């Protein structure tokens, strides 16, 4: 929605492609037909971020030579990180609401552009007073019925803060946002004008990615941060008061455990650690302590244990405790934690959400009320996501449903094959009936994920020999990307501990965590089977 329609008459300028252009404006067409002296009006509506004063005068006048407009439009589509004149012109020739034929526009020497400025904050449009409309993300995706379509179009299709004719969302590389006058700054401070103000507080490109995730999770709001650990630590610091108490589970990402065990106690925060399936232990912890938050992964890392999110939420809410589920292994497609009763769902967007092993990011989604203190803490801590990383997440999410479908299928089929193999002792995968929480996973998940953990028949070095014999996967510490990745947790994540210390966390020397990419199932199957034959 347009906040105001205004423009200022600027001195006209002309552009030529030849290097000897002196800069002197020409008002008449040369014999070569290089310039035209006539102007055609092509208004642009709703372009956000025009840096001109609100003087209420007629228009902006730009003069361009033939072909320059067409070339500029093409360049603007290819590289929309330059949010300036190129974007104004590119958008004008594609939308062309005045009905001027494209050929006429290209031949014009001067173009009259009428500019509307749109103020946007957190992905919402603003009314005439600059106040953000709420619930815009839901409206944008309301006509889509499947997660696959939502992942492609949410946050973009029906309008985004950056108005452009480009199909892809532009990258807005800026560290700050300006105010035209002090009065506008005061309006912003008093809530009458919308702006991001500073890059740490938000970015138009990042907002598109956040809206896309919110649409998939069914959340009112999403916060993207610089990494999954950043999201976890900021969330815990914001929601658990000094001297508070949290409940977490035994199986979890090691760095999360380190933060809970070493950093939170400095603020007097205590933690009760329970088995993911031990609801009696949860009831006891809730009865004996004033618990602020229950925080766990589901499925967990690396044993893929599953928590009954609906039951946990009912128990915690009855005692006034919040529930946060780290759904990184599940993805928003396989599991809807908020719909099951959780207050917050957290992801390492580095993994399946971005999906290409090329970006670090974390996100938390939930209601505006619950996320408000987290947002405040995030602005203080400063773990802002780079807009280029936000663009990679947007791009990656457009194929999220295709990738997850392939990874779900491959992982389940390989888990069944591995479980039957004589050189594999045990397989950890929620899609198998042998998994301790298979009944829970069947009830609350639509797919079981692309990661399978298993124990081979051998010691540390035998397991390493198996991994080294694999030809397709990379040996790396991440998961969820297009490329398959394998690691031996005893070495990759716990090598600083001795064998007995690793055993306290259930980490055996023969444990393998295999993240299946989008390679063909037959190739992955053949590779794993040939590697098992080497041990």
pLDDT at 142: 66
519 and 426 part of one domain: yes
In a domain, 443, yes or no: yes
The closest of 111, 109, 112, 113 to 28, measured between CA atoms, is: 109
What residues are annotated to the active site? Answer: 200, 253, 326, 351
Q: Tokens representing 186?
A: 């005061």
Q: Tokens representing 144?
A: 């889509």
Tell me the C-alpha to C-alpha distance, in Å, between residue 436 and each of 350, 372, 426: 28, 37, 12
What DSSP string runs through 212-240?
HHHHHHT-SEEEEES-HHHHHHHHHHHHS
407 and 390 part of one domain: no
Counting beta carbons within 10 angstroms of the beta carbon of residue 211, is it exposed (0 to 12), middle (13 to 18) or buried (19 or more)? buried
- For residue 153, what is the domain's CATH number? 3.40.640.10
What does the alpha-carbon distance between residue 64 and residue 39 come to, in Å, rounded to a whole number? 10
Final residue in a domain of this structure, among 378, 398, 418? 398
362 and 412 part of one domain: no
In 187-312, where do the E strands start and end? 221-225, 245-249, 270-274, 291-297
191 and 314 part of one domain: yes
- Which residue carries 């103000």 as its tokens? 197
In a domain, 66, yes or no: no
The phi and psi torsions of 403 (rounded to 5 degrees) equal -65, -45
In a domain, 224, yes or no: yes
| Angle formed by the axes of helices 387-397 and 204-217, nearest 10° | 40
393 and 300 part of one domain: yes
- For residue 405, what is the domain's CATH number? 3.90.1150.10
Tell me the C-alpha to C-alpha distance, in Å, between residue 129 and each of 1, 5, 51, 309: 11, 13, 19, 42
In a domain, 377, yes or no: yes
Whether residue 470 contacts residue 500, with contact meaning beta carbons closer than 8 Å, is answered with: no
What residue numbers bound the domain in which 519 lies?
400-534
370 and 445 part of one domain: no
In a domain, 91, yes or no: no
In a domain, 116, yes or no: no
Total structural domains within the chain: 2
SS3 content of the chain, % helix, strand, coil (to 5): 35, 15, 45
In a domain, 246, yes or no: yes
Q: What is the pLDDT along the chain (535 residues), one digit of tens a residue?
A: 333 333 333 344 343 333 333 334 344 443 443 333 333 333 333 333 333 333 333 333 344 444 444 444 444 434 433 333 333 333 333 344 344 333 333 333 333 333 333 333 333 333 333 333 333 344 445 678 899 888 888 888 656 777 778 899 999 999 999 999 999 999 999 999 988 999 999 999 999 999 999 999 999 999 999 999 999 999 999 999 999 999 999 988 989 999 999 999 999 999 999 999 999 999 999 999 999 999 999 999 999 999 999 999 999 999 999 999 999 999 999 999 999 999 999 999 999 999 999 999 999 999 999 999 999 999 999 999 999 999 999 999 999 999 999 999 999 999 999 999 999 999 999 999 999 999 999 999 999 999 999 999 999 999 999 999 999 999 999 999 999 999 999 999 999 889 988 988 889 999 999 999 999 999 999 999 999 999 9
What does the alpha-carbon distance between residue 112 and residue 41 come to, in Å, rounded to a whole number? 5
In a domain, 382, yes or no: yes
279 and 365 part of one domain: yes
Final residue in a domain of this structure, among 346, 375, 398? 398
């Amino acid at each position: 929605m347009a906040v105001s329609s205004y423009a200022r008459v600027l001195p006209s300028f002309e552009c030529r492609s030849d290097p000897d252009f002196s800069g002197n404006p020409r008002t008449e067409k040369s014999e070569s037909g290089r310039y035209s002296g006539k102007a055609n009006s092509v208004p642009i509506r709703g372009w956000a971020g025009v840096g001109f004063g609100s003087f209420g005068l007629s228009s902006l006048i730009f003069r361009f030579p033939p072909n320059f407009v067409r070339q500029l439009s093409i360049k603007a589509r290819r590289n929309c990180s330059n949010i300036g004149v190129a974007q104004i012109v590119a958008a004008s020739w594609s939308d062309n609401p005045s009905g001027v034929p494209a050929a006429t526009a290209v031949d014009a020497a001067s173009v009259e552009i009428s500019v509307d400025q749109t103020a946007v904050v957190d992905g919402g449009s603003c009314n005439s007073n600059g106040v953000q409309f709420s619930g815009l993300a839901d409206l944008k995706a309301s006509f889509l019925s499947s997660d696959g379509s939502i992942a492609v179009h949410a946050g973009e299709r029906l309008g985004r803060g950056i108005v452009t004719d480009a199909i892809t969302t532009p990258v807005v590389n800026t560290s700050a946002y300006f105010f035209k006058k002090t009065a506008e700054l005061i309006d912003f401070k008093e809530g009458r004008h919308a702006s991001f103000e500073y890059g740490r507080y938000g970015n138009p490109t990042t907002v598109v990615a956040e809206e896309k995730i919110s649409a998939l999770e069914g959340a009112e709001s999403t916060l993207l941060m610089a990494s999954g650990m950043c999201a976890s630590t900021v969330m815990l610091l914001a929601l658990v008061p000094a001297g508070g108490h949290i409940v977490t589970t035994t199986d979890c990402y090691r760095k999360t455990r380190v933060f809970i065990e070493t950093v939170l106690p400095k603020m007097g925060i205590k933690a009760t650690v329970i088995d993911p399936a031990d609801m009696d232990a949860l009831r006891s912890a809730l009865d004996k302590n004033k618990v602020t938050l229950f925080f766990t992964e589901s499925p967990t890392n690396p044993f893929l244990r599953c928590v009954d999110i609906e039951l946990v939420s009912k128990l915690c809410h009855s005692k006034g405790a919040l529930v946060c589920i780290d759904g990184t292994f599940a993805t928003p497609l396989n599991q809807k934690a908020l719909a099951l009763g959780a207050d917050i769902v957290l992801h390492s967007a580095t993994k399946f959400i971005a999906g290409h092993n090329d970006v670090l990011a974390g996100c938390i989604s939930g209601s505006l009320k619950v996320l408000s203190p987290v947002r405040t803490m995030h602005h203080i801590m400063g773990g802002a996501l780079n807009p280029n990383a936000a663009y990679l997440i947007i791009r990656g999410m457009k194929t999220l449903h295709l990738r997850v479908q392939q990874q779900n299928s491959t992982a389940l089929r390989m888990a069944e094959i591995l479980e039957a193999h004589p050189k594999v002792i045990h397989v950890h995968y929620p899609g198998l009936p042998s998994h301790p929480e298979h009944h829970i996973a069947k009830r609350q998940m639509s797919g079981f994920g692309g990661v399978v953990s298993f124990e081979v028949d051998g010691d540390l070095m035998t397991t390493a020999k198996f991994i080294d014999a694999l030809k397709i996967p990379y040996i790396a510490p991440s998961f969820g990307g297009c490329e398959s990745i394998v690691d031996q947790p005893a070495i990759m994540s716990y090598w600083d501990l001795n064998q007995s210390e690793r055993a306290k966390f259930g980490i055996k020397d023969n444990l393998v965590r295999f993240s299946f990419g989008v390679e063909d199932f037959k190739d992955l199957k053949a590779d794993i089977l040939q590697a098992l034959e080497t041990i």
